[in-house]
């Protein structure tokens, strides 16, 4: 009845209508079209793959080259048990083969991150767009979907601002809420709730961390590859990680931080969160003090300020000009007391940070939340409420690490949705 009140765009009934032309939507469209289905992709942006074009800093971390599925799925937290079936159908090796067939081989770099050989995210988009066109997929751009129309037992059409599109199967691939400037504004979550699905409200999960300390802010742009950070809740130790930390004008970023953010976000809801950074995690205090004593002996007549770079990590001198507030930086090294020297050593091993917040959706690499996986047949990506509705990518409530795991989820779920739709 509702459908008759709205202008139909045509009398054509599409085999598959994909709502959203991002990574999982394009993969779904390619897969369904290869099976000879008529496919329509509706995308509200003026181009397909807007978020895909900016992933990995514009280089596009397509996947992670961990071929052991059990090890790979450890990066999806509690959701891993739901993912063995879909990943047995389309996994990491299948992603490598898929892009190789499109003429875009992948290269593996540090931490097993896989990128297109050209290291250009736009090439990923262009290769997929070319395949869609080759297979006769129709994509309508600048079309905003306003809802799905059902007859009580199945979805029958998509309602847009310009009219209605009829179809047999429907793939919802609108993405989550990270990088809203690319069009990911959570529309799919609204549609799913209206259809009766249980949807966990989204929150940034793989996202930089905001801190209030001035010494961190002055290091904006500095990246240190080997530091240990320990997080505390109300002065009680919670967890530690060691690796690269990127300092920013608002706090911390980098893979280690991004992959800690979800846990930190939970702690922030429970109380006061602080962190302690160990600038020399592989060196105990006694050994570090011995090194500093030698540096001081070799530079007795210089000022403390002029030899900071001799004992603080590369790039951190500006921060220590702030942190060493208990001593005059113009003091000659030979005049530094044993007590102050020990304070310097302790400071290098215990740099205290006040965590104030997680950054918002605009800076998030991944936003969690989405439809409860118990309401999806993960072998087919079918909704358990409407069997001709398929749900992919960021619309699924799956927490994951950065480093190619988000896009691999898009490739896997998009492929399976396209296969079954």
Q: pLDDT (tens digit, 0 to 9) for every residue of the chain, 421 residues total?
A: 333 444 666 679 999 999 999 999 999 999 999 999 999 999 989 999 887 887 776 889 899 999 999 999 988 878 899 999 999 999 999 999 999 999 999 999 877 889 999 999 999 999 999 999 999 999 999 999 999 999 988 999 999 988 999 999 999 999 754 434 433 456 888 899 999 998 877 655 567 888 999 999 999 989 888 899 999 998 999 999 998 898 988 888 887 888 788 788 778 777 789 999 999 999 999 999 999 999 999 999 999 999 999 999 989 999 999 999 999 999 999 999 999 999 999 999 999 999 988 775 455 555 556 888 999 999 999 999 999 999 998 899 887 766 788 899 999 999 999 999 9
| C-beta of residue 408 within 8 angstroms of C-beta of residue 415 | no
Using alpha carbons, select from 116, 16, 12 the residue that is nearest to residue 420: 16
By three-state DSSP, how is residue 37 classified? coil
**Rounded Cα–Cα distance for residues 410 and 418 (Å):** 12
* pLDDT of res. 266: 75
Which pTM value belongs to this model?
Answer: 0.67
For 241, half-sphere exposure in the C-beta direction (CA atoms, 13 angstrom radius) is 16
**Rounded Cα–Cα distance for residues 209 and 228 (Å):** 16
Return the structure tokens found at 365: 């690499």
Bridge partners of residue 170, in order along the sequence: 17, 389
* pLDDT of res. 363: 53
Domains of the chain, earliest start first:
3-204+368-420 (3.50.50.60), 206-273+357-361 (2.40.30), 285-352 (1.10.8)
Extended beta strands in 143-250, E state: 145-150, 155-160, 163-172, 199-206, 209-211, 223-233, 236-247
Calculate Rg over the CA atoms of the chain: 26
* pLDDT of res. 104: 96
Alpha-carbon distances of 257 from 6, 210, 225, 235, 246, rounded to whole Å: 49, 11, 12, 20, 8
* pLDDT of res. 179: 39
**Rounded Cα–Cα distance for residues 100 and 92 (Å):** 13
Strands 251-253 and 236-247, how do they pair? antiparallel
Q: 285-298 and 338-349 are packed helices; what angle lies between their axes, rounded to 10 degrees? A: 130
By three-state DSSP, how is residue 325 classified? coil
Alpha helix positions (H), 118-175: 121-134
Helix, strand, coil content of the chain in percent (nearest 5): 40, 30, 35
* pLDDT of res. 3: 39
Q: Which long-range contacts (CB under 8 A, 24 or more apart) does 317-326 make?
A: 318/218, 318/219, 319/215, 319/216, 319/218, 319/219, 320/215, 320/347, 322/214, 322/215, 322/218, 323/215, 323/347, 323/351
């Amino acid at each position: 009845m509702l459908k008759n009140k709205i202008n139909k765009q045509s009398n054509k009934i599409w085999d598959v209508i994909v709502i959203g032309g991002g990574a999982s939507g394009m993969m779904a469209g390619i897969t369904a079209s290869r099976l000879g289905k008529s496919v329509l992709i509706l995308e509200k942006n003026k181009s397909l793959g807007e978020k895909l074009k900016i992933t990995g800093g514009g280089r596009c971390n397509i996947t992670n080259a961990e071929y052991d599925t059990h090890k790979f799925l450890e990066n999806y937290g509690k959701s891993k048990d739901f993912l063995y079936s879909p990943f047995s159908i389309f996994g990491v090796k299948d992603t490598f083969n898929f892009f190789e067939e499109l003429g875009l081989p992948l290269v593996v770099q540090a931490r097993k991150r896989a990128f297109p050989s050209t290291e250009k995210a736009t090439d990923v988009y262009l290769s997929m767009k070319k395949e869609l066109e080759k297979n006769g997929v129709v994509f309508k751009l600048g079309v905003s979907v306003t809802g799905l129309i059902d007859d009580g037992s199945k979805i029958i059409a998509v309602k847009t601002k310009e009219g209605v599109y009829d179809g047999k199967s429907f793939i919802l691939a609108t993405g989550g809420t990270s990088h809203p400037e690319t069009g990911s504004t959570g529309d799919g979550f609204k549609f799913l709730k209206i259809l009766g699905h249980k949807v966990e409200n989204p929150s940034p999960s793989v996202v930089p961390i905001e801190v209030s300390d001035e010494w961190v802010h002055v290091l904006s742009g500095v990246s240190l590859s080997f530091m240990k950070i320990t997080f505390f809740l109300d002065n009680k130790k919670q967890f530690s990680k060691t690796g690269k930390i990127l300092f920013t004008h608002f706090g911390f970023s980098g893979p280690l931080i991004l992959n800690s953010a979800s846990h930190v976000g939970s702690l922030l809801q429970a109380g006061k969160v602080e962190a302690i950074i160990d600038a020399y995690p592989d060196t105990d205090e006694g050994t570090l003090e011995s090194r500093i004593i030698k540096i001081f002996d070799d530079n007795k007549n210089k000022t403390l300020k002029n030899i900071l770079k001799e004992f603080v990590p590369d790039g951190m001198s500006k921060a220590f000009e702030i942190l060493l507030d208990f001593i005059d930086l113009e003091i000659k090294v030979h005049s530094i007391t044993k007590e102050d020297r020990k304070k310097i050593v302790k400071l290098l091993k215990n740099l205290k940070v006040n965590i104030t917040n997680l950054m918002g959706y605009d800076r998030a690499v991944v936003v969690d939340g989405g439809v409860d996986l118990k309401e999806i047949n993960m072998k087919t990506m079918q909704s358990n409420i409407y069997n001709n509705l398929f749900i992919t990518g960021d619309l699924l409530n799956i927490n994951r690490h950065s480093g190619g795991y988000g896009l691999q989820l898009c490739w896997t779920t998009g492929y399976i949705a396209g296969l079954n739709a």
